Amino acid sequence: MRPYRRMKRPKSIIPEVRLPDPVPEAGDLLDKALEVKEKQLRETFANCSDVVFRHIVCPDAVGQGIRMLITYVDGLVDTKHLDEAVLQVLMRQPLPPAPAVTAAWVQEILADRAVPAAQVGVVTTYDEVVAFVLKGSVTMCVDGDEAALTLSVVGWKQRGIEEPPSEPVIRGPREGFVESLRTNTAMVRRRIRSPKLKMQTFTIGEFTKTDVVLAYVDGIAEPSVVEEARRRIQRIDIDAVLESAFLEEFIEDSPKSPFPQVQSTERPDVVSANLLEGRFAIFTDGTPFALVAPVVFWGALNANEDYYERTFMSSFLRILRITFMLVSLLLPSVYVAMATFQQEMIPTTLLMSISAARESTPFPAVIEALFMEIVFEALREAGVRMPKQIGQAMSIVGALVIGQAAVEAGIISAPMVIVVSFTGIASFTFPRYNFGIAIRLLRFPMLILSGIFGIYGIAIGIVILVIHLVSLRSFGVPYFTPVGPMHFQDFRDVFIRVPRWAMRYRGGMTAKQNTIRIPAGQQPGPQQDKE
Amino acid sequence: MSSIQRISRWQFVMLLLPIVIATEILPVTDLSAKFAHQRTWLAMIPATLTGIWSIWVMTELARRHPGQSIIQYAMDILGKWGGRAFGVIIILQTFIYTTKVAAEMMTFISMFALPRTPKPMILGLFLFACGVAVWAGIEVIARCAETFIPITITFFLFVFICLLPNMRPAYVRPVLGPDWFETVIQAAIVPSAWYGEFLLMGFLLPFLETSKNVRRMSYYLLTFIGVFVVMIALQSTMVAGPLIEKLTYSYYITARYISLGDFFERIDPLIISIWMYGLVVKEAVCLFVFATCVTQLTGLSDHRLIVMPVTILTMIGCLWMFPNLAELRSFLTYTFPIEGMVVQNILPTFLLAVDMLRRGLDRSPAHA
C-alpha cells in the first residue's frame, strides 16, 4: 500500500515558501503601540461582525488623555455592567499622575476605585488576548504598554435551572444541570462541602476550546482509576466537543459494545452520590449531561429515587425492573419459541386460544414478531421526532391501523400484538434511556435465534450475551460486578436496597481504600430506658 | 487486557462444579440404573472415590510444582520426551472431553428439543458460544460460571422441591438385598469416570490467586457434588420407580411430572435452557484446557491462536465419533470408565510417584 502511494504522489519539488504571516504566532508578545495591536486584532477577527472594538480616552492629570482599546464579543458581555462599573469609573474622573502608563497601573486604579468587575487580570501575549475575548471577557489594551487588561464581566443568556425532563422524581431534589459548566460544578460543590472534592479543568477541542472538568473525591476514589481517566481525557484530540457524548466515545473501554460503559445524568444529586461512592464525574461546558464512571451493569437498573423511598418499596421496584428487563429482552423470542417449537410448555387452555388466533394468520410466528417489533420501534421513533401536534395523529394511526385493523383483517394474530405491546411497556421501565436502547437492540438477534433454534437458541443467546457482558470493563472495573466476579458485600445494593444504616460499605470495586461509609450500630428502634 | 489472568477461589469452585454436575445428571443416572436398579443412589457414593483420589494427586502435584500446569511439570519430571509423550496423552484426553460434552449436548437437544434441525447446526451454535468464551480467556469463563452455576443449582433444587409430591419412597426399597454389593460397585464404575475429570484441576490450579486450603476446599466441593448427585439419583428413582432403567435421560423425563398450580403442566423445556448454562461452562473449560495443552506443548505464546482450530476439530470429532445416541451411550458405559481410570487417575499417580522417587533420590546423597 505504502510504496504504491509514494509512487503515485511524488514529493513536491517546489520548495515550500513561507508566506509572511500577518497574524502573529502563538506566544508572541503584544506590541507597545496601540495602532499595531488594533491592526493585529482586527486582522484576526476579520469578518467577525460580533466582535466589538471600542476606543476610549481616559482623562488624566496632564490633560492629554490615555488612549485605550476595548475588545469584546457582543452578546457574551454584560455591556450595561461594563459601562457602569468600568468605563464610567475610568472616564468620569481624571486619572492620577503616573510614572508610566501600564496595564498594571490601570489595574491598580480600578482596584482603588473599587470597581466591582469580578476578575481583573493582566496578560502579555497576543494569543491570550484572543482567547480571553473568545471566552467572553473584555480585554483592554493600553497605549504604550505591552500588557493588556482582561475584565470578566460575563453576561450571556442561559437557561434557568429546571427539573430534568429525562430523570423525573417524585421525591428528591428537583434541580437539574444546565448548559453552563460553572453552574453545574457549583451545584455539586454545594452538596459536597469538602476540600476533598477535587475538580480539574481541561480544555478540549481545536475549535470549540470546550472546558471539561474532571471531578472526584480525593481519599475515596481509587487513584489509579482517576489517573486513568485523566490520561484518557488528555489523549483526546478532536475538533469539537458539543456534547458529553463526544468525550464518552473517546474514553470508554469497549467501543464495540451496545452497552453504555459510562453513565450520563442531568442530576446533581446523582453525581454527588456517585462521587461519594468513589466514582468520578466529567462535566462538559455547553451540555447539562455529566458523565459518571466507572459504572456496572446493575447500576443501570437503579434509579436515584430508590434511595429516597422506603427500602421495601425500592427493593420491590428493583426486582420488578430486573424482571422487566428480561421481559423486554426475551418475551417476543420466548413467545416465538413456544409457539413454534415447544408448544407443550404452553398451558392447554392458553394454547387453545393462541392456536385459534394463529389459525387465520398467514405468517410464521417469527416473521410476525419481527414485523411487529420493527413497526413498534418505528412508531416510537416517529413519536419522539415528530412535532407534538402531528404526534397525536400518528399515535391514532398506529393504534388503529396497526393494532386493530391488522388483527381484524387476519394479517397479525392478536396474541402477537399483546406480546409486542407488553414488551414495549417493559422497555419503558429502564431508569436509563441509553441502557434501554441496548436491550431494545438485542431483542432482534434474540428473536432470530429463537426463530431458528427455539428455546435452545434463546439459551445460547443468553450465554453469548453474558459472555459479552462479563468481558466488558468500565475503567478497570468488570462490568458485571458484583455477580461475576462475585462480591457478596455489594449485594446489599443490587437486587435489593438495604436501609441506609445497613449500607455500611462503599462499592467494593470503586472505593477500595476508604470502604467504611457508615459506622455500625445505628439501627434505629423504639426508645429504651437505660438504667 | 493483562496477559496473566487470575481466578479467585470461589470462581475455581464454580468452574469445577459443572464438570461433574452439568454432564452427569442427565446421561449418567440412567446408565447406572441399568446395573443397580433402585440402588442407583447408593452407587453414586463409591463413585466419588476416584474423585478423592484425583483431587489428592492433583493438589499434591500442584503443591510440589506451584504455578505450573500438568504439562509443564510433566516435562520436568519425566524429561523432555517422556513429558511430551505424557502431554500428547493428556491432549487426547481433553479432546475426548470436548467431543464427549458436545456430543451429550447434541444428542440431547436433537432428541428432545429440535428433532428436525440438522445436528451440525445445533453443534455449531453451541461451539461458537464456547469458542467465544475461550477466546476471551479463563477470567471470562470464570465470571460466566459465577453467573450461571448458582442459577443452575437453584433451578435443580427447585425441580427437586416441585417433584416432592410425586416421589414414592417405597420405590427405593429394597436398599440391601441379594448381590447388593456387586451391583452397586458395578454401577459405580460409570459415574466414577466423571469424578476423574478433576484432572482438569491440573490446568486450573496455576491460575488460582492463592493456593491456600485448596485441597480442603476441593473436598468440600466433592462432598457437595456427591450429595447433589445422590439427591438427583434418589429423585429419579423415587419418581419413576422401576421404569428408571428403561428411560433415557430419566431426569428430564421425570421432570415432566411437575405441575405448578394446575396451570404450568410442563416445565421440562426450561431444563434445556438451564442445563445449557452448565454445559457451556463445562465445554468452555474443557476447550480452554485443550487449547492450553496444545499451546504449552508446542511452545506457542497465546492460547488464542489455537482456539479456532481446536473448536473446529471438536466439531468434526464430535460428528465423527458420536454420530448418534447409541454410540455415545456405549462409549460412556463401556469405554470411558476404563480409559478414564487409566488416563485420569493412574497416569497422574504414576507422575507423582516418579516425582517422589526422583526427589527422594536427589535428597539422599545430600544427606549422606
A100 and A199 share one domain: no
Judge whether residue B346 has pLDDT over 90: yes
Specify whether A131 is located in the same domain as A256.
no
The pLDDT > 70 percentage for chain A reads 91
Per-residue confidence band for B259, with pLDDT thresholds at 50, 70 and 90: confident
Average pLDDT, chain B: 88
Establish if B334 touches chain A: CB-CB under 8 angstroms: no
- At A110 the pLDDT is 73
pLDDT reported for residue A127? 84
Cβ partners under 8 Å of residue B78, min gap 6: B85, B86, B351, B354
Query: Model confidence at B365, in pLDDT bands (50, 70, 90)?
Result: low
A98 located within any domain: yes
Residue A7, Cβ density class (10 Å: 0-12 exposed, 13-18 middle, ≥19 buried): exposed
Q: How do the domains of chain B map onto residue ranges?
A: 9-357
Residues A136 and A61 in one domain: yes
Q: Is the distance from CB of A181 to CB of A284 less than 8 angstroms?
A: yes
Whether B252 has its CB under 8 Å from any CB of chain A: the answer is no
Does B118 reach chain A within 8 Å, measured CB to CB? no
Q: A197-204 and A138-142: which strand pairing?
A: unpaired
Determine the average pLDDT of the residues in A289-305: 90
Examine the fold and report which residue of A306, A341, A360 is the final residue of a domain before the chain moves on: A306
Average pLDDT of the residues in B244-253: 84
**Residues in chain B within 8 Å Cβ distance of A348:** 265
Cα distance from N-terminal residue to C-terminal residue, chain A: 89
Residues B2-30 pLDDT 10s: 457 889 989 999 999 998 888 878 878 88
Query: Taking residues A358-362, what's their average pLDDT?
Result: 86
The 10s digit of each residue's pLDDT in B313-336 is 999 999 999 988 889 989 988 899
Name every residue in A having a CB less than 8 A away from some CB of B.
341-342, 344-345, 347-348, 452-460, 462-464, 466-467, 470-471, 478, 480, 483-486
- pLDDT score of A325: 93
Window from A364-378, A468-482, A506-520 with minimum mean pLDDT: A506-520
Indicate which of A467, A469, A473, A483 best probes the interface with B, i.e. most B CBs within 10 Å of its own CB.
A467
Rounded to a whole number of angstroms, the distance from the CA of B83 to the nearest CA of chain A is 34
Tens-place pLDDT, residues A182-203 = 899 999 999 999 999 999 999 9
Say if residue A480's pLDDT is above 70: yes
Return d(Cα B134, Cα B139) in angstroms, integer.
9
- Whether residues A358 and A257 share a domain: the answer is no
At residue A118, the pLDDT reads 58
Domain's final residue, options A424, A451, A471: A471
Query: Do A454 and B113 count as a contact with CB atoms less than 8 A apart?
Result: yes
CB within 8 Å of A42: residues ≥ 6 apart: A53
Whether the per-residue pLDDT at A10 is higher than 70: the answer is no
Q: For A196-225, write each residue's pLDDT tens digit.
A: 999 999 999 999 999 999 999 998 998 999
Q: What is the pLDDT of residue B364?
A: 66
Give the range among A156-160, A345-349, B2-6, B227-231 with minimum mean pLDDT. B2-6
Within this chain, do residues A288 and A338 fall inside the same structural domain, yes or no? no
Instruction: Indicate whether A71 pLDDT > 80.
Output: yes
B9 in Cβ contact with B208 (< 8 Å): yes
Closest-CA residue to A382 (of A398, A367, A362): A398
B146: nearest CB among A453, A458, A486: A486
Confidence (pLDDT) at B221: 93
Confidence of residue A20 (pLDDT cuts 50, 70, 90): very low
> Considering only A8-12, A124-128, A152-156, B229-233, which range has the smallest mean pLDDT?
A8-12
Burial (Cβ within 10 Å: 0-12, 13-18, ≥19) of residue A272? buried
If asked whether residues A329 and A290 sit together in one domain, one would say no
CA distance A405 to A399: 9
B28/B280 Cα distance (integer angstroms): 18
The number of distinct structural domains making up chain A is 3
Lowest mean pLDDT among A93-102, A340-349, B83-92, B351-360: A93-102
Whether residue A146 is found in the same domain as residue A65: yes
What are B178-200's pLDDT values in tens digits?
Answer: 888 888 888 898 888 889 899 99
**Mean predicted confidence (pLDDT) in A400-424:** 86
Find the DSSP H helices in chain B. 9-36, 40-64, 70-112, 119-136, 138-163, 180-195, 201-204, 214-240, 250-254, 268-298, 304-321, 325-330, 336-340, 347-367
Name the class of domain B9-357.
Answer: mainly alpha
A475 contacts on B by Cβ (under 8 Å): none
- Interchain pair B144, A453: CB under 8 A: no
| Cα B10 from Cα A478, distance rounded (Å) | 16
Mean pLDDT to the nearest integer, A35-43: 85
Radius of gyration in angstroms for the set of CA atoms belonging to chain A, rounded to a whole number? 31
Q: Are A475 and A253 in contact (CB under 8 A)?
A: yes
> Nearest Cβ partner of B132 from A464, A478, A484?
A464
Return the sign of the alpha-carbon dihedral for residues B199, B202, B207, B209. Answer: positive
The mean pLDDT value for B88-93 works out to: 93
Question: Judging by DSSP bridges, how do beta strands A290-293 and A263-265 pair with one another?
Answer: antiparallel
pLDDT, averaged across chain A: 85
Residues B209 and B65: beta-carbon distance below 8 Å = no
Is residue A330 located within the same domain as residue A297? no
Which positions in chain B touch A480 (Cβ < 8 Å)?
Answer: 143, 147
- Residue A114, pLDDT score: 62
How does A10-27 read in b/e, with b if 16+ C-beta sit within 10 Å?
A: eeeeeeeeeeeeeebeee
B129: chain A residues, CB-CB within 8 Å: 460, 463-464, 467
For A445, list phi and psi in degrees, rounded to 5. -60, -35
- Calculate ∠ Cα A167-A172-A173, nearest 5°: 80
- Which among B256, B191, B216, B208 has a CA at the least distance from the CA of B43? B191
Q: Is B140 on the interface with A (CB under 8 A)?
A: yes
Cell (9 digits) for A462: 443468553
pLDDT tens digits, one per residue of B24-39? 788 788 888 888 888 8
Determine the distance in angstroms separating the CA of A452 from the nearest CA of chain B, rounded to an integer: 9
Residues across chain A: 531
A462 Cα to chain B: minimum distance (Å):
9
Domain that holds residue A392: 309-471
Q: Output B222 or A476, whichever has higher pLDDT.
A: B222
Tell me what the mean pLDDT of segment A314-323 comes to.
93
Q: Is B125 on the interface with A (CB under 8 A)?
A: yes
pLDDT band at A9 (very low <50, low <70, confident <90, very high): low
Pick the residue of B114, B135, B262, B287 with the most A CBs within 10 A to test the interface with A by mutation.
Answer: B114
Spatial contact of A122 and A107, defined as CB atoms under 8 Å apart: yes
Domain check: are A128 and A235 in the same one?
no
Confidence at residue B258, expressed as pLDDT on a 0 to 100 scale: 87
Q: What is the band of A405 on the pLDDT scale with cuts at 50, 70, 90?
A: confident
Please judge whether A344 and B129 are an interchain contact, meaning their C-beta atoms are less than 8 angstroms apart: no
More confident residue, A111 or B33: B33
Are the beta carbons of A463 and B273 separated by less than 8 Å? no
In a domain, A502, yes or no: no
For β-strands A263-265 and A119-123, DSSP reports them as unpaired
B259-289 b/e with 16+ CB inside 10 Å = b? eeeeeebbbbbbbbbbbbbbbbbbbbbbbbb
Contact B113 A455 (CB under 8 A): yes
Cell of residue A237, nine digits: 484530540
How far apart, in Å, are the Cα atoms of A172 and each of A269, A319, A322, A433, A434?
9, 21, 23, 20, 22
CB of B267 less than 8 A from some CB of A: yes
User: Using 50, 70 and 90 to split pLDDT, how confident is the model at A530?
Assistant: low
Residues of B in contact with A224 (CB under 8 A): none
Q: Is residue A492 part of a domain?
A: no
- Could you read off the pLDDT of A248-276 as tens digits, one per residue? 999 999 999 999 999 999 999 999 999 99
Residue A484 placed within a domain = no
Which chain A residues contact residue B207 at CB under 8 A?
Answer: none
Q: Give B-chain residues touching A464 at CB under 8 angstroms.
A: 128-129, 132
A426 exposure class (CB count in 10 Å sphere: 0-12, 13-18, 19+): buried
Q: Where are the beta strands (DSSP E) in A351-438?
A: none
Chain B hits for A344, Cβ within 8 Å: 266, 269
With a CB cutoff of 8 Å and minimum separation 6, the contacts of B109 are: A456, B122, B272
- Quick check: is A203 in a domain? yes
**Is A112 in the same domain as A136?**
yes
Distance in angstroms (rounded) separating the CA atoms of residues B280 and B275? 9
Question: What's the confidence (pLDDT) of residue A122?
Answer: 81
C-beta atoms surrounding A100 within 10 Å: 8
Q: What is the DSSP string of A239-282?
A: S---SHHHHHHHH-S-SS-SS-SSEEE--HHHHHHHHHTT-EEE
Model confidence at A107, pLDDT cuts 50, 70, 90, reads confident
Tell which of A306, A329, A359 closes a domain: A306
**In three state form, how does the secondary structure of A205-251 look?**
CCCCCEEEEEEEECCCCCHHHHHHHHHHHHHCCCCCCCCHHHHHHHH
Mutate to test the interface with A, among B144, B208, B259, B263 (most CBs of A within 10 A): B144
> Of the ranges A195-199, A216-220, A331-335, A390-394, which one carries the lowest mean pLDDT score?
A390-394
Omega prior to A482 cis, within 30 of 0: yes
Which set of grid coordinates corresponds to residue B185?
A: 460397585
Residue A276 in domain: yes
